[in-house]
Chain A
Amino acid sequence: QAQLVESGGGVVQPGGSLRLSCAASGFDFSIYGMHWARQAPGKGLEWVAFIRYDGGNRRYANSVKGRFTISRDNSKNTLYLQMSSLTSEDTALYYCAKDWPQPLNDAFDVWGQGTRVTVSS
Protein backbone atom coordinates (compact mmCIF):
# COMPACT_ATOMS: atom_id res chain seq x y z
CA GLN A 1 0.00 0.00 0.00
CA ALA A 2 1.39 3.35 -1.05
CA GLN A 3 2.42 5.59 1.83
CA LEU A 4 3.98 9.02 2.17
CA VAL A 5 5.45 10.39 5.38
CA GLU A 6 6.53 14.01 5.64
CA SER A 7 9.03 15.41 8.14
CA GLY A 8 11.16 18.47 8.76
CA GLY A 9 8.53 20.99 9.73
CA GLY A 10 8.93 23.37 12.64
CA VAL A 11 9.07 26.98 13.73
CA VAL A 12 11.34 29.29 11.76
CA GLN A 13 11.94 33.02 11.85
CA PRO A 14 10.90 35.28 8.97
CA GLY A 15 13.63 35.23 6.34
CA GLY A 16 14.80 31.82 7.46
CA SER A 17 15.09 28.50 5.67
CA LEU A 18 13.79 24.99 6.18
CA ARG A 19 14.01 21.68 4.31
CA LEU A 20 11.08 19.29 4.25
CA SER A 21 11.36 15.60 3.43
CA CYS A 22 8.81 13.07 2.24
CA ALA A 23 9.60 9.36 2.52
CA ALA A 24 7.73 7.15 0.06
CA SER A 25 6.99 3.45 0.35
CA GLY A 26 4.69 0.82 -1.14
CA PHE A 27 5.07 1.91 -4.77
CA ASP A 28 7.81 2.43 -7.37
CA PHE A 29 8.80 5.98 -6.42
CA SER A 30 11.22 6.32 -9.34
CA ILE A 31 8.52 6.24 -12.04
CA TYR A 32 6.09 8.82 -10.65
CA GLY A 33 6.08 12.58 -10.50
CA MET A 34 5.56 14.11 -7.08
CA HIS A 35 3.97 17.26 -5.72
CA TRP A 36 4.07 19.46 -2.67
CA ALA A 37 0.85 21.20 -1.62
CA ARG A 38 0.06 23.27 1.45
CA GLN A 39 -2.86 24.36 3.57
CA ALA A 40 -2.68 27.51 5.67
CA PRO A 41 -4.54 27.41 9.00
CA GLY A 42 -8.27 27.42 8.33
CA LYS A 43 -7.74 27.82 4.59
CA GLY A 44 -7.97 25.69 1.47
CA LEU A 45 -5.44 23.66 -0.44
CA GLU A 46 -2.73 25.32 -2.54
CA TRP A 47 -0.45 23.50 -4.97
CA VAL A 48 3.20 24.43 -4.35
CA ALA A 49 5.55 22.47 -6.61
CA PHE A 50 5.91 19.47 -8.95
CA ILE A 51 8.87 17.36 -10.01
CA ARG A 52 8.93 14.79 -12.80
CA TYR A 53 9.85 11.19 -12.04
CA ASP A 54 13.47 11.75 -13.13
CA GLY A 55 13.83 15.28 -11.75
CA GLY A 56 13.99 16.63 -15.30
CA ASN A 57 10.98 18.93 -15.09
CA ARG A 58 10.18 21.12 -12.10
CA ARG A 59 7.24 23.49 -11.78
CA TYR A 60 6.40 26.02 -9.07
CA ALA A 61 3.45 28.10 -7.99
CA ASN A 62 4.02 31.81 -8.54
CA SER A 63 3.81 32.38 -4.78
CA VAL A 64 6.98 30.35 -4.12
CA LYS A 65 8.94 30.66 -7.37
CA GLY A 66 12.53 31.70 -6.74
CA ARG A 67 12.31 30.86 -3.02
CA PHE A 68 11.45 27.14 -2.92
CA THR A 69 13.27 24.26 -4.63
CA ILE A 70 11.80 20.80 -5.11
CA SER A 71 14.14 17.85 -5.52
CA ARG A 72 14.19 14.08 -5.15
CA ASP A 73 16.54 11.19 -4.47
CA ASN A 74 15.16 8.10 -6.18
CA SER A 75 17.81 5.91 -4.52
CA LYS A 76 16.34 6.89 -1.15
CA ASN A 77 12.68 7.06 -2.21
CA THR A 78 12.58 10.57 -0.82
CA LEU A 79 11.17 13.89 -1.98
CA TYR A 80 12.42 17.23 -0.68
CA LEU A 81 11.32 20.83 -0.51
CA GLN A 82 13.98 23.42 0.29
CA MET A 83 12.30 26.61 1.45
CA SER A 84 14.08 29.95 1.88
CA SER A 85 13.19 33.62 2.47
CA LEU A 86 10.20 32.42 4.44
CA THR A 87 7.43 34.81 5.41
CA SER A 88 4.32 34.49 7.55
CA GLU A 89 2.41 33.75 4.34
CA ASP A 90 4.25 30.42 4.16
CA THR A 91 2.85 29.22 7.50
CA ALA A 92 0.91 26.08 6.63
CA LEU A 93 0.60 22.32 6.80
CA TYR A 94 2.73 20.98 3.95
CA TYR A 95 1.65 17.80 2.17
CA CYS A 96 3.52 15.71 -0.32
CA ALA A 97 1.36 13.91 -2.88
CA LYS A 98 1.96 11.32 -5.56
CA ASP A 99 1.20 12.35 -9.13
CA TRP A 100 -1.20 10.13 -11.03
CA PRO A 101 -0.75 10.79 -14.74
CA GLN A 102 -3.97 11.50 -16.64
CA PRO A 103 -4.43 12.68 -20.24
CA LEU A 104 -6.02 16.01 -19.30
CA ASN A 105 -4.67 17.04 -15.89
CA ASP A 106 -2.73 14.83 -13.51
CA ALA A 107 -4.37 13.95 -10.21
CA PHE A 108 -2.97 13.62 -6.70
CA ASP A 109 -3.86 10.05 -5.76
CA VAL A 110 -1.85 9.49 -2.56
CA TRP A 111 -1.30 12.08 0.17
CA GLY A 112 0.89 12.15 3.24
CA GLN A 113 -0.34 13.34 6.62
CA GLY A 114 1.53 16.62 6.39
CA THR A 115 4.24 18.45 8.30
CA ARG A 116 3.56 21.82 9.91
CA VAL A 117 5.64 24.90 9.16
CA THR A 118 5.22 28.02 11.27
CA VAL A 119 7.02 31.23 10.35
CA SER A 120 7.14 33.47 13.36
CA SER A 121 9.55 35.66 15.28
Chain B
Amino acid sequence: QSVLTQPPSVSGAPGQRVTISCTGSSSNIGAPYDVHWYQQLPGTAPKFLIYGNNNRPSGVPERFSGSKSGTSASLAITGLQPEDEADYYCQSYDSLSGWVFGGGTKLTVL
Protein backbone atom coordinates (compact mmCIF):
# COMPACT_ATOMS: atom_id res chain seq x y z
CA GLN B 1 0.00 0.00 0.00
CA SER B 2 1.56 3.28 -1.14
CA VAL B 3 1.30 6.37 1.04
CA LEU B 4 0.21 8.32 -2.05
CA THR B 5 -2.73 6.93 -4.04
CA GLN B 6 -2.85 7.01 -7.84
CA PRO B 7 -5.29 5.32 -10.24
CA PRO B 8 -3.69 2.16 -11.67
CA SER B 9 -4.45 3.17 -15.24
CA VAL B 10 -5.78 5.93 -17.48
CA SER B 11 -6.18 6.11 -21.22
CA GLY B 12 -6.88 8.58 -23.96
CA ALA B 13 -6.82 8.98 -27.71
CA PRO B 14 -4.12 10.96 -29.50
CA GLY B 15 -4.74 14.68 -29.17
CA GLN B 16 -6.92 14.34 -26.08
CA ARG B 17 -6.29 15.57 -22.55
CA VAL B 18 -5.82 13.21 -19.63
CA THR B 19 -5.28 13.79 -15.95
CA ILE B 20 -3.68 11.60 -13.29
CA SER B 21 -4.55 12.17 -9.66
CA CYS B 22 -2.36 11.71 -6.61
CA THR B 23 -4.05 11.65 -3.21
CA GLY B 24 -2.16 11.98 0.04
CA SER B 25 -2.83 13.16 3.57
CA SER B 26 -2.02 15.81 6.14
CA SER B 27 1.40 14.24 6.82
CA ASN B 28 2.62 14.62 3.25
CA ILE B 29 0.95 16.64 0.46
CA GLY B 30 -1.24 18.46 2.95
CA ALA B 31 1.67 19.18 5.35
CA PRO B 32 2.25 20.93 2.88
CA TYR B 33 5.10 19.28 1.08
CA ASP B 34 5.52 19.79 -2.64
CA VAL B 35 4.68 17.15 -5.24
CA HIS B 36 6.97 16.09 -8.05
CA TRP B 37 6.16 13.84 -11.02
CA TYR B 38 8.24 11.31 -12.93
CA GLN B 39 7.69 9.56 -16.25
CA GLN B 40 8.93 6.02 -16.77
CA LEU B 41 8.90 4.83 -20.36
CA PRO B 42 8.81 1.04 -20.83
CA GLY B 43 12.11 -0.57 -19.84
CA THR B 44 13.79 2.67 -18.86
CA ALA B 45 14.67 4.59 -15.71
CA PRO B 46 12.33 7.27 -14.34
CA LYS B 47 12.63 10.74 -15.81
CA PHE B 48 12.10 13.99 -13.90
CA LEU B 49 8.91 15.53 -15.31
CA ILE B 50 7.36 18.14 -12.97
CA TYR B 51 8.76 19.76 -9.82
CA GLY B 52 7.31 21.96 -7.13
CA ASN B 53 3.74 20.97 -8.02
CA ASN B 54 3.58 22.81 -11.34
CA ASN B 55 7.03 23.55 -12.79
CA ARG B 56 8.67 21.88 -15.76
CA PRO B 57 12.40 21.13 -15.88
CA SER B 58 14.18 22.29 -19.00
CA GLY B 59 13.28 20.17 -22.02
CA VAL B 60 9.90 18.94 -20.81
CA PRO B 61 7.13 19.90 -23.27
CA GLU B 62 4.50 22.44 -22.24
CA ARG B 63 1.89 19.73 -22.79
CA PHE B 64 2.73 18.46 -19.31
CA SER B 65 1.45 20.44 -16.33
CA GLY B 66 0.82 19.89 -12.65
CA SER B 67 -1.39 21.26 -9.93
CA LYS B 68 -1.95 20.80 -6.23
CA SER B 69 -4.82 21.51 -3.87
CA GLY B 70 -5.09 20.48 -0.25
CA THR B 71 -4.00 16.87 0.13
CA SER B 72 -4.11 16.05 -3.60
CA ALA B 73 -2.20 16.79 -6.76
CA SER B 74 -2.77 16.17 -10.45
CA LEU B 75 -0.74 15.75 -13.60
CA ALA B 76 -2.36 16.85 -16.85
CA ILE B 77 -1.20 15.94 -20.33
CA THR B 78 -2.75 17.79 -23.26
CA GLY B 79 -2.43 16.95 -26.94
CA LEU B 80 -1.73 13.31 -26.08
CA GLN B 81 0.92 11.66 -28.26
CA PRO B 82 1.79 7.97 -28.72
CA GLU B 83 5.21 8.52 -27.11
CA ASP B 84 3.50 9.62 -23.89
CA GLU B 85 2.54 6.01 -23.20
CA ALA B 86 4.37 5.29 -19.96
CA ASP B 87 4.03 4.88 -16.21
CA TYR B 88 3.71 8.11 -14.21
CA TYR B 89 4.61 8.50 -10.53
CA CYS B 90 3.90 11.28 -8.08
CA GLN B 91 6.35 11.85 -5.23
CA SER B 92 6.23 13.85 -2.03
CA TYR B 93 7.72 13.86 1.45
CA ASP B 94 5.99 12.31 4.44
CA SER B 95 6.78 13.44 7.99
CA LEU B 96 6.49 9.83 9.19
CA SER B 97 7.99 7.85 6.30
CA GLY B 98 10.42 10.14 4.50
CA TRP B 99 10.33 10.42 0.72
CA VAL B 100 7.30 8.63 -0.73
CA PHE B 101 6.01 7.69 -4.17
CA GLY B 102 2.56 6.98 -5.47
CA GLY B 103 1.83 3.50 -6.72
CA GLY B 104 2.13 4.63 -10.33
CA THR B 105 -0.36 5.10 -13.16
CA LYS B 106 -0.07 3.38 -16.52
CA LEU B 107 -1.07 5.70 -19.35
CA THR B 108 -2.31 3.98 -22.50
CA VAL B 109 -2.62 5.97 -25.71
CA LEU B 110 -5.46 4.38 -27.64
A61 is an interface residue with CB less than 8 A from chain B:
yes
Report whether A105 and B33 are in contact in the complex, using a CB–CB cutoff of 8 Å: yes
Output the nearest chain A residue to B104 by Cβ-Cβ distance. A44
Residues of A within 8 A of B (CB): 35, 37, 44-47, 50, 59-62, 95, 100, 102-114
Output the nearest chain A residue to B96 by Cβ-Cβ distance. A62
CB contact under 8 A between A107 and B33, given known A44-B104, A50-B98: no
Residues of B within 8 A of A (CB): 2, 32-36, 38, 40, 44-48, 51-52, 57, 87, 89, 91-93, 97-104
CB contact under 8 A between A111 and B36, given known A59-B98, A105-B92: no
B8 nearest CB across to chain A (Å) = 10
Q: Residue B91 contacts which of A50, A103, A107 (CB distance < 8 angstroms)?
A: A107
Report whether B57 and A47 are in contact in the complex, using a CB–CB cutoff of 8 Å: no
B27 nearest CB across to chain A (Å) = 12
- Measured between beta carbons, the chain A residues less than 8 angstroms from B87 are 44
- Measured between beta carbons, the chain A residues less than 8 angstroms from B98 are 47, 50, 59-61
10 CB contacts below 8 A, A to B, read: A37-B101, A45-B40, A45-B89, A47-B99, A60-B98, A62-B97, A100-B48, A107-B48, A107-B51, A110-B48
